[in-house]
Structure 1
Amino acid sequence: MDFFVFISEQWLLVSLLVILLYAFALNERRNAGIPASVHEVTRLINSQGARVLDVRDCGDYDAGHIVDALHIPHGEVAGRLNELASMKDKPLIVADKMGQHAGAVGRALKREGFSVRRLQGGMTEWSTQNLPLVKS
């Protein structure tokens, strides 16, 4: 009950807190790479020569991945940045299973100067849309 009394009496402070939390979440989202829908990813690959970086585990990657996707598991990206150096001039799309690791990888890549986008919904969304997969 005291909680609601506080909110009603301090509505300006509570509103400011909500706005700051929203701004923080929005900033973190942008720092990890702007999300891109499966259709936008397809357009980026076809028109701008974007490359897909698949950060899933080996088993998931072998079960099906986007054509010409580069595979580096999310735990190894920081140590293998030299393999990505030639891709700084084109958009790099980070794809994971459902979006749980793409943010951290995206932040690391942006710090290194990459133009990063994240596959919205991950490979689960790609599969749900019945888009083509290559199986190893």
Structure 2
Amino acid sequence: MFQQSVPTVDIASVPADAVLLDVREQDEWDAGHAASALHIPMSEFVARIGELPEAEPLYVVCRVGGRSAQVVQYLVGQGRQAVNVDGGMLAWDAAGRALVSEQGDAFVL
């Protein structure tokens, strides 16, 4: 079976000023996210695609990389430049990248 490859980068390759799109569900987002990330859950993504900024590429993240890979594949099919962040927010946290809770507090997952 042929599977289309998805553009992917590791955490170290995500620029500090990247446009980060977090596609995790609300409870996952509330538990901790990158301060500058845009949150559109995968379950709402198609309905809310108009909220995406024009900036490219979009760096798409979920918990470990599966859902974000699906969103990247969709975006690429729509002609957008998007990149899956390998390892997701678990890798983000493991790399020591900053996280905040919904209350704005810095913390660790």
Q: Provide the TM-score with structure 2 as the length reference.
A: 0.84
1:130 alignment counterpart: 96
User: In structure 1, how many angstroms separate the alpha carbons of the residues matched to 2:35 and 2:75?
Assistant: 21
Q: Give aligned-pair identity as a percent.
A: 32
2:41 alignment counterpart: 73
Q: Following TM superposition, where does structure 1 have runs of at least 4 consecutive aligned residues deviating by more than 4 angstroms?
A: none
1:62: Cα distance to partner? Answer: 1.1
**Residue-pair matches, total:** 102
**Equivalences for residues 1-136 of structure 1 within 5 A:** 24-25=2-3, 28-30=4-6, 34-41=7-14, 43=15, 45-46=16-17, 50-84=18-52, 86-87=53-54, 89-136=55-102
Using CA pairs below 8 Å that are at least 6 residues apart, which structure has the higher relative contact order? 2
CA contact (8 A) 1:29 1:103 kept: no
The letter for the 1-side match of 2:71 is V
Considering fraction of residues, name the structure with more helix.
1
User: In structure 2, how many angstroms separate the alpha carbons of the residues matched to 1:123 and 1:115?
Assistant: 20
CA contact (8 A) 2:56 2:82 kept: no
The letter for the 1-side match of 2:5 is R
3-state secondary structure, aligned to 1:97: coil
3-state secondary structure, aligned to 1:114: coil
User: In structure 1, how many angstroms separate the alpha carbons of the residues matched to 2:35 and 2:101?
Assistant: 9
Q: Any idea what the Cα deviations from partners look like across 1:3-46, whole Å, max 9, x if unmatched?
A: xxxxxxxxxxxxxxxxxx5xx34xx123xxx11111111x2x43
